[in-house]
Amino acid sequence: MDKKLLAILVCPVCKGPLVYDKPKAELICKVDRLAYPIRDDIPVMLEEEARRLPADEEV
pLDDT of residue 48: 97
Structural domains of the chain, with CATH: 3-52 (2.20.25.10)
Distance in angstroms (rounded) separating the CA atoms of residues 16 and 38: 18
Residue 16 to residues 6, 8, 46, 47, Cα–Cα distance (Å): 12, 11, 14, 14
Q: What percent of the chain has pLDDT over 90?
A: 78
pLDDT digits (tens, 9 = 90+) for 32-55: 999 999 999 899 999 999 999 998
DSSP state of 5: H
